Structure 1
Amino acid sequence: MKESGMKVADVHDLRVHPADHWLDDLTEPATPAFNNVTQLAMNSFAGPARLLRRLYGFASTTPGKLFTVTVILTLALGAAGISMSNSSAARHSALDELLSTTEPMANSAHHLYTSLSLADTVATTGFVQAGVESADNRQRYNEAIDAASVAATQAVLGTSPEDQRIRDLVTFIQRELPVYTAMVEKAQSNHRAGNSVASSYMSNASSLMREQILPAAAELFQRASYKVNEQQQRLTTPQWVPLSGLLAALFFLFIAQWWLWRLTRRRFNRGFLAATIMLIIALSWAGGSNLATWAAGHQGFATASRPWDSLTASRIEAQQTRTSETLALVLRSSQQDMRVQFQSTVHSINSALGDYENALRDEDVPASNPGLIPQARAATERWTDAHDRLMEALSEGDYDHALTLATDATPGNKEVTTARAFADTDTALAQLIAEARVSMRSYLEQGLNAVTTVATAVLLLTIAAIIAVWLGIRPRLQEYL
């Protein structure tokens, strides 16, 4: 029994011997080496880290370097091409908006200003006419009021939420215009009835127009013109960021070719050389477009807009002087003040004509009818002569002759009157203003045409350059496969 018991003990000792612990069942440690967050992070980033190590290992090889340089060039060329394409497309859209919305809005403000001034001039002329107002004069007055109403509506069509002041000015004009027309109608009806109060009504109507409505129209015109100039100057500035992107891409391409030459001992790579040529073409095209847009839109537009501004100002001043000239028959205003105002108007007209003539001669501004300037000068001289005779008749007390000179616009009359001479002057100035506007729009259209094809051309050239780079690097990669 002892022997068997000893044997059992010996067996038990052998079973629990430390050398045999490897036969025991495996169990998890009571305290893990890493917590759950750490294990999750290791499981999440182990794969990407391993992939990055492999990519780094590949990039350190010669084929990997070739591939990496090609990818960098692709990204640089693609970013430069997309940037220039998007910028050119946005500029094209903005220039189109300037031509189709903002500039017409400014032109409507100009028509509003001149139509209001012309309506006051015609109304004053009809008031001082002897007897019943002529049908022709009445029609001109109604047409001027109608043109002003239409222009006021068109002047707000191109406005944005930032143009609240423009909307307020148009609202004010539209509210005051019926008041003015009502006062004119009262003046005309009392004048036909022979009531002396007619002069007071006409004077008040003209004061309302000159002191409130026309200043509001002048501010509206100035704001609209400023908006045109601001957008035009902003859109004709060079595209420095996209152009610098193309230059950077071209620089990277030169560096890559130098590196490839040092690596392979081959001086030229056909694909890289073709990509360089296409990128130079794209850069030259974009740079030439920017230069053409700047020259046509900035310098040319500024040159053409100067005579347009001066002609517009001189025409409005002439209309206001014509109103004062006519009211002198009724209000018996100071002839000395009238002469000073008239001389200032004539000087303004001659200066505006000189500006436009200089622009035609020096800056190569297109002109469809060069004979308009001599016509305007001749009409202004006739108006000056007629005005002197009008002032002379008033000073001598010859009211009937002065009335004929101020109101008779019959073409068959041998004597040139202020009414007919002013009508010829105003018509010539209006035609010159229209021609100057065509010149301004032609410069804007040149800028628009310059950027029309740039967006597509630059994008296609950069895509072709990317393809050429990959085709050029392909033989060099095959050498290591």
Structure 2
Amino acid sequence: MTYPPSGTALREPEPDQSSAPPAVPAQRRGVPSVAVERLRAAATTEPGRLQIIGAALALLVVVFGAVTYLEISGRASAAHDVVERSQPLSADAASIYRSLADADTMAASGFLAGTEEPKAVHDRYEADIKEASRLLVKAAASTDASTSSHREITTLGELLPEYTGLIERARANNRQGLPLGGAYLRYANQKMTAELLPAAERLYAAETGRLGTDSADARRWPFFSLCVGIVALAALVWMQRRNYRRTNRVFNRGLVAATAAATVVLLWLAVGHTVARAELHGAMVHGQESLDVLNKARINSLKARANENLTLVARGAVLTPDGTRDQYETDYSTGMKALGAQLESAEKLADDDTGSKPVAVAIDTVSEWQDRHRKARATDDRGEYDSALQQIIGAEDSTGESFEKVDDALEQALALEQDDFDVAAEDGRRALGGLPAGAAVLAVLGAGAAIAGVNRRLSEYR
């Protein structure tokens, strides 16, 4: 027997590895590639395809609910701000403006009455100042310190004590019969018209602008939600048609339930937002626009009344820059012209007889006011100051009586338009109220129903 040489071991022939693919360690293959391979493998069989379709349908319905929840929550929040924040702040800013203008009017009226200011006039002046101060504190608590509104509120808070101080000096001098009182009153009026009222007007414009922004945000169409909803509904209908063509069964309860849930959400979304959009638009057009015009009309009437009083206080001491006319009489004419134009606009914006009636009363009374004013000016020009004074501040047949009628009519019109705005805006907010939560719940139920319907079909393969 022949043995191999010592120290030499027999070796088995090595296989030819030239044609074999290199092995890839399992840990080097990424998770995505493994998932893709499994997905491809599953898609080659009908049960696998059904599982993929079921998961896709459930995900699509859930995405529809989530997108609807997010978009409508934002619009519902904006509608809430319109009702609870923006419009109340805009109304408060208008009230601040009106209270300041009315206080200036009452100060001039009280000064004209002589050394003994009528108690009713003084009480109204004090009430106006307190109301303006209260609303400024309220507005400051509701606005961010970085906004322009807060800066205007700060300005008003600083200027108001200066104004009231000047008025008190005017009263003190007037009680003593000193002509310096008239100078203090004119200086106070200049501070009101040149600094306080412009700041109040800027505050009102800022808050009204924010109201318009919030209303526009609430009325924006939720296009993304509508598109996703249509895609989800189309996918569910396609799946049922596919199921019918392969099994000849008309209905799959799970898929029908999922389709019904998606349809309800889509219709709720479309109808609810359409109603909310219409109500909020109506609140802005028929409510806020009228409120804006009426607020400006009321402020112009107050400023015209203050200028009318100051015409008698100044007695021609304050002239226009060209030195040809009385400044306060000129300002009165300008204010009355603006008042007439705004009342005409308010009458056109009134959408029923209830709203137009007080505006019509104000228009007629403004004509009466202007007629009485012309007679009073003619009397004063003849040198009959005391008679002219009674035609201005008298209890009967005076311009003061006409002014009070105009102010009362405008206050009534404002109250009616405010009610119309509140009702329409609240209806718009309610139309969006339950939609976000309802869409989320129905989406979850619809996704579950879609999975159940597909699982019912899968059970036939077991």
CA distance change for structure 1 residues 234 and 20 in 2, over 3 Å: closer, same or farther? closer
Name which of structure 1's ranges 53-62 and 419-428 shifts more when overlaid on structure 2.
53-62
**Residue equivalent to 1:331:** 314
How far apart are 1:423 and its partner, in Å? 1.7
**Residue equivalent to 2:348:** 358
CA distance change for structure 1 residues 216 and 65 in 2, over 3 Å: closer, same or farther? same
Where do 5+ consecutive residues of structure 2 fail to align? 15-21, 320-324
CA distance change for structure 1 residues 374 and 17 in 2, over 3 Å: closer, same or farther? closer
**Residue equivalent to 2:79:** 95
How far apart are 1:360 and its partner, in Å? 3.5
> Structure 2 matches for 1:155-174, cutoff 5 A?
155-163=139-147, 165-174=148-157
Give, in whole Å, the separation in 2 of the partners of 1:319 and 1:419.
Answer: 11
How far apart are 1:161 and its partner, in Å? 5.0
Give, in whole Å, the separation in 2 of the partners of 1:331 and 1:183.
Answer: 16
Equivalent AA in structure 1 for residue 434 of structure 2: T
> Structure 2 matches for 1:12-411, cutoff 5 A?
13=5, 16-19=8-11, 42-43=26-27, 45=29, 53-163=37-147, 165-333=148-316, 341-342=331-332, 344-361=334-351, 371-409=357-395
Give, in whole Å, the separation in 1 of the partners of 2:35 and 2:434.
Answer: 44
How far apart are 1:279 and its partner, in Å? 1.8
Give, in whole Å, the separation in 1 of the partners of 2:191 and 2:332.
Answer: 22
Give, in whole Å, the separation in 2 of the partners of 1:79 and 1:376.
Answer: 56
Name which of structure 1's ranges 75-84 and 294-303 shifts more when overlaid on structure 2.
294-303
How far apart are 1:389 and its partner, in Å? 2.4
| TM-score normalized by the length of structure 2 | 0.88
Give, in whole Å, the separation in 2 of the partners of 1:301 and 1:15.
Answer: 105
CA contact under 8 A between 2:310 and 2:328: conserved in structure 1? Answer: no
How far apart are 1:181 and its partner, in Å? 1.0
Q: Secondary structure at the match of 1:229?
A: helix
CA contact under 8 A between 2:105 and 2:305: conserved in structure 1? Answer: yes
* CA deviations over 1:389-426 (Å, ceiling 9, x no partner): 211211221111111122233xxxxx311122212211
Partner residue of 1:423 out of 404, 407, 419: 404
* CA deviations over 1:143-195 (Å, ceiling 9, x no partner): 111111112222222223551x2222111111111111111111111111121
* CA deviations over 1:429-459 (Å, ceiling 9, x no partner): 1232232222222222121011012112222
**Residue equivalent to 2:18:** none
Give, in whole Å, the separation in 1 of the partners of 2:32 and 2:215.
Answer: 52
Q: Secondary structure at the match of 2:68?
A: helix
Give, in whole Å, the separation in 2 of the partners of 1:211 and 1:239.
Answer: 45
Equivalent AA in structure 1 for residue 382 of structure 2: E
CA distance change for structure 1 residues 186 and 63 in 2, over 3 Å: closer, same or farther? same
Give, in whole Å, the separation in 2 of the partners of 1:50 and 1:457.
Answer: 38
CA distance change for structure 1 residues 261 and 478 in 2, over 3 Å: closer, same or farther? same
Equivalent AA in structure 1 for residue 375 of structure 2: R
Name which of structure 1's ranges 297-306 and 259-268 shifts more when overlaid on structure 2.
259-268
CA contact under 8 A between 1:393 and 1:402: conserved in structure 2? Answer: yes
How far apart are 1:244 and its partner, in Å? 1.5
How far apart are 1:135 and its partner, in Å? 1.2
Give, in whole Å, the separation in 1 of the partners of 2:253 and 2:236.
Answer: 13
Give, in whole Å, the separation in 1 of the partners of 2:380 and 2:11.
Answer: 140
Equivalent AA in structure 2 for residue 279 of structure 1: A
Q: Secondary structure at the match of 1:84?
A: helix
Give, in whole Å, the separation in 2 of the partners of 1:396 and 1:295.
Answer: 59
Q: Larger C-alpha radius of gyration, 1 or 2?
A: 1
Equivalent AA in structure 1 for residue 129 of structure 2: I
**Residue equivalent to 1:480:** 461
| TM-score normalized by the length of structure 1 | 0.84
Name which of structure 1's ranges 135-144 and 422-431 shifts more when overlaid on structure 2.
422-431
CA contact under 8 A between 1:105 and 1:157: conserved in structure 2? Answer: no
Give, in whole Å, the separation in 1 of the partners of 2:328 and 2:350.
Answer: 33
Q: Secondary structure at the match of 2:141?
A: coil
CA distance change for structure 1 residues 20 and 105 in 2, over 3 Å: closer, same or farther? closer
Equivalent AA in structure 2 for residue 238 of structure 1: W
Equivalent AA in structure 2 for residue 277 of structure 1: A
CA contact under 8 A between 1:70 and 1:470: conserved in structure 2? Answer: yes
CA contact under 8 A between 1:275 and 1:465: conserved in structure 2? Answer: yes
Q: Secondary structure at the match of 1:132?
A: coil
Give, in whole Å, the separation in 1 of the partners of 2:32 and 2:394.
Answer: 95
Q: Secondary structure at the match of 2:144?
A: coil
CA distance change for structure 1 residues 224 and 48 in 2, over 3 Å: closer, same or farther? closer
Q: Secondary structure at the match of 1:131?
A: coil
Equivalent AA in structure 1 for residue 366 of structure 2: T
Q: Secondary structure at the match of 1:479?
A: helix
Equivalent AA in structure 1 for residue 446 of structure 2: A
CA contact under 8 A between 2:307 and 2:329: conserved in structure 1? Answer: no
Equivalent AA in structure 1 for residue 277 of structure 2: W
Equivalent AA in structure 2 for residue 109 of structure 1: A
Give, in whole Å, the separation in 2 of the partners of 1:113 and 1:154.
Answer: 14
Equivalent AA in structure 1 for residue 150 of structure 2: R
CA distance change for structure 1 residues 195 and 267 in 2, over 3 Å: closer, same or farther? same
Q: Secondary structure at the match of 1:397?
A: coil
The alignment of Structure 1 onto Structure 2 pairs a total of residues equal to 448
**Residue equivalent to 1:4:** none
How far apart are 1:118 and its partner, in Å? 0.6
Equivalent AA in structure 2 for residue 401 of structure 1: S
Equivalent AA in structure 1 for residue 204 of structure 2: F
Partner residue of 1:446 out of 409, 418, 427: 427
CA contact under 8 A between 1:102 and 1:158: conserved in structure 2? Answer: no
How far apart are 1:56 and its partner, in Å? 3.4
